[in-house]
Structure 1
Amino acid sequence: MTREEDIKKAIQCMRKGGVILYPTDTVWGIGCDATNKEAVAKVYSIKQRDDSKALICLVDSEARLQRYFRNVPNVAWDLLEAAMKPTTVILDDAVNVAENLVAEDGSLAMRITSEPFSKELCYRFQKPIVSTSANVSGEPAASNYEDISDVILNAVDYVCWSRRQEHKPHTPSSIVKLGRNGEVVVIRK
């Protein structure tokens, strides 16, 4: 299967409210349309995770990130520009996404991916895609396809073919919360 075909099938699945398993700029992720409340609920169910714990979303560009927050502070752009590894920012006042994706305080975690497959997937989908690690909550994240449990593989609607043969160390992103008043809190280095 070509990367183009793989992306088309993943997009078709998400447009129908389905959940996908896909390679990202960090670890393998469970994903869905971040604007679809029912699809987001499926992801929480697959992860066996309480929906009070927010999920990360991926987008392809700064312009797309800006569409999902009332205000993106300048420090966010500075942080993303200086980052030496994939970095997720948690920003306040999320808009235009499924309400069960937004934390109780109105914040949302989002990352701009530069990895070719996930970037193209996000670009072609034209919306943020949920990107939570491909594991049941509390278990180790799936660095490579071979690390994904059968429980997760059997629970999703589509498993991407791209990068399945890869055997490289991958680590989760850094996570930084940026508050309304300029507070910066490192959640994960």
Structure 2
Amino acid sequence: MKNLDDTFRSEAKKAAEIMRKGGIILYPTDTIWGIGCDATNEEAVQRIFRLKERADSKSMLVLTDSEAKLQGLMDEVPEMAWDLIELTNKPLTIIYPAAKGVAPSLIAEDGTLGIRVTREPFSTELCRLMRVPVVSTSANKSGQPAAQTYAQIAPEIIEGVDYVVECRRQEKGGQPSAIIRLGTKGEVEVLRQ
């Protein structure tokens, strides 16, 4: 029998292969189950918008596996972000100004992008293998409650993706992340604690 680390690696490798080909996946994250794709692939991003029946004007966040990779997603990482990332003890999504380096429809009309540096083993490995940010949006139709467990995910969501990760299906998920918006002049706005 494979140990947990081997299973995580094998599943992350399969999921990354699907996403590199433009596919979308259902996967466990550092918060709740998410729908994901290569965040630089506009066509894959649009498939997620359609699956979720989500308005294009409502952007989705992305995951990355390291603080170093933030540099490529904006011209300058606000100084406050480093402190927030270092000090947080729970998943934290930061909405950054002047985003770049992802599919255009992920960037909000005001130029912002929500990014979370994940520390959860599976999503970290997935991001490491992809080498680009990974979309992470809740595994539900827009306006419906987020699924806390795999069992709560609607069949049409499961059927609408190209791959469903085998890991952590029996676990109860966490809570959605905290969300903080950073402004270009050092403003900080807490949107969700």
TM-score bracket relative to the smaller structure: over 0.9
Q: Any idea what SS the aligned residue of 1:84 has?
A: coil
Q: Any idea what SS the aligned residue of 1:67 has?
A: helix
Structure-to-structure mapping, 1:1-189, within 5 angstroms: 2-166=7-171, 168-189=172-193
**How big is each residue's C-alpha offset from its partner over 1:111-163, in whole Å with a ceiling of 9 and x where there is no partner?**
00000010011111101000000000111111111111101001111100011
- The alpha carbon displacement at 1:4 in A equals 2.2
Q: Report how many residues are paired.
A: 188
Between the aligned partners of 2:173 and 2:135, the Cα distance in structure 1 is: 22
Are the aligned partners of 2:25 and 2:36 in contact in 1 as well (CA < 8 Å)? Answer: yes
Q: Any idea what SS the aligned residue of 1:142 has?
A: coil
Between the aligned partners of 2:99 and 2:148, the Cα distance in structure 1 is: 29
State the AA in 2 paired with 1:44: F
Report percent identity of matched pairs: 55
Between the aligned partners of 1:169 and 1:36, the Cα distance in structure 2 is: 27
Between the aligned partners of 1:38 and 1:187, the Cα distance in structure 2 is: 29
- The alpha carbon displacement at 1:83 in A equals 1.4
Q: Any idea what SS the aligned residue of 1:187 has?
A: strand
Query: For structure 1, which runs of at least 5 residues remain unmatched after alignment?
Result: none
Are the aligned partners of 2:9 and 2:125 in contact in 1 as well (CA < 8 Å)? Answer: no
Q: Any idea what SS the aligned residue of 1:124 has?
A: helix
Q: TM-score when scaled to structure 2?
A: 0.95
Q: Any idea what SS the aligned residue of 1:117 has?
A: helix
Q: TM-score when scaled to structure 1?
A: 0.96
